[in-house]
Amino acid sequence: MKRFIGFVKKEFKHILRDYRTLLILFGMPVVQILLFGFAIKNEIKDSKIAILDRSKDYITEEITNKLLSSGYFLLYENLKSEDYIESEFRKGIVKEVIVFEEDFAKNLFGEGKSGIQIIADASDPNYANMLINYTSSIINDYLNTLHTGHNIQILINPEVKMIYNPEIKSVYMFIPGLMAVILLLVSSLMTSISITREKEFGTMEVLLVSPLKPLQIISGKVIPYVFIAFIDALIIIFMAKYVFAMPIEGSIILLILESVLFITTALTLGILISTISSSQQIAMMSALGGLMLPTILLSGYIFPIENMPYVLQLLSNLIPAKWFVIIVKAIMLKGLGFSYIWFETAVLVITNIVLFVISIARFKIRLE
């Protein structure tokens, strides 16, 4: 045990001495979150919209005027029928289409209920979401003035439907994905590099002939990065909550435990990479190319899994980050408890065990 502790101490020294890398490890989550948070357009101005007014009564006219006078929207075109909606979006100029149902005013005052359909181009989901929020709030404001003026109960349901991206993504939907990517980067990339560095330094030769067991060497290499990744996870959660006011509906303890589980998965992946790479360079390339790229593309971080071809959907099941993103979303946004995410958790646990066993078995006790 003393040997092992000595080994871990040495690893911490390596990490602490290399302050540049340390800065990157802790600075990266902060910078990434700020970039993602603020680079996403959070101001709407002169967005081009199209309107399909099937009712053409004074209420729809007033709503249209309200929208266009807000300064947020510009009317690009009045559509004649529903058939034009898709082609309008394809051109890429119109970001949102508002459809008033037939007999809008009549329904509103007769049945106390009327329908507006708002369709947004969700190829930029955050922007689309914002457009919809703005539109709905302007309509609601208008309805409130109607309400007070007539003193009757009126309900209006703007039917929000996004095409191209049926799953609504909000500004902070990127946080779970970002968390997965950063934890993966820190854990797998850094461990695989630090293990292969021993090989390059020639120190692995001496460690091999020492009484240290492969399990001790591997865990000794991994433990410091568990700490670092864990701190990164906390930084991300903290910033999400306090900088972007992201809700954490569910248990924060559960969230942290699940993060630790994902960190260990990422670490075992890193170990696996290091057992097959002979140099730091190869380790880095395989970590970036073999882990990061598939994770970014297939975890549902940027591209919704539901919209992928079937084959890729199947493949995405192999990406641990996918399961982690589901878990984080469930806890943070939906406030779900463990009973709802036991399956995803089980997937990560099993992945963990399998990878770890393979790594230990593949770890070479000799130089060849």
Helix, strand or coil, per DSSP, at residue 305: helix
Q: CA 258, CA 340: separation in Å to the nearest integer? A: 13
Angle of helix 19-39 relative to helix 174-184, nearest 10 degrees?
Answer: 160
Least distance to other proteins, CB of residue 291, Å: 26
Least distance to other proteins, CB of residue 338, Å: 40
The 5-34 site mask, x for binding other proteins (CB under 8 A), equals xxx-xx--xx--xx----------------
For the record, the structure tokens of 362 come out as 């593949």
- The DSSP result for 107-137, as a single string, is HHHHTSEEEEEEEEETTSHHHHHHHHHHHHH
Choices 93-101, 197-205, 242-250, 266-274; region in contact with other proteins by CB under 8 A: 197-205
Choices 119-127, 210-218, 293-301, 335-343; region in contact with other proteins by CB under 8 A: 210-218
Number of residues that bind other proteins (CB under 8 A): 26
Angle of helix 2-17 relative to helix 214-242, nearest 10 degrees?
Answer: 50
Q: CA 252, CA 128: separation in Å to the nearest integer? A: 30
Of positions 86, 205, 249, 306, contacts other proteins by CB under 8 A: 205
Least distance to other proteins, CB of residue 263, Å: 25
Q: Which amino acid is at 353?
A: I
Nearer to other proteins, 14 or 48 (CB): 14
Least distance to other proteins, CB of residue 223, Å: 15
Cβ-based neighbours of 291, under 8 Å, separated by 6 or more:
184, 188, 189, 269, 273
Nearer to other proteins, 207 or 223 (CB): 207
In the range 349-368, which residues lie near other proteins by CB under 8 A?
365-368
Least distance to other proteins, CB of residue 13, Å: 6
Contact call for residue 113 and other proteins (CB under 8 A): no
Cβ-based neighbours of 267, under 8 Å, separated by 6 or more:
187, 188, 191, 222, 225, 226, 229
In the range 211-230, which residues lie near other proteins by CB under 8 A?
211-212
Pairing state between β 73-78 and 47-53: parallel
Contact call for residue 278 and other proteins (CB under 8 A): no
Q: CA 11, CA 9: separation in Å to the nearest integer? A: 5
Residue 317 and residue 240 in contact, taking contact as beta carbons nearer than 8 Å: no
Contact call for residue 279 and other proteins (CB under 8 A): no
Of positions 3, 56, 90, 106, contacts other proteins by CB under 8 A: 3
Nearer to other proteins, 6 or 337 (CB): 6
Which residues of the shown chain bind other proteins in the complex (CB under 8 A)?
2-3, 5-7, 9-10, 13-14, 17-18, 201-203, 205-212, 365-368
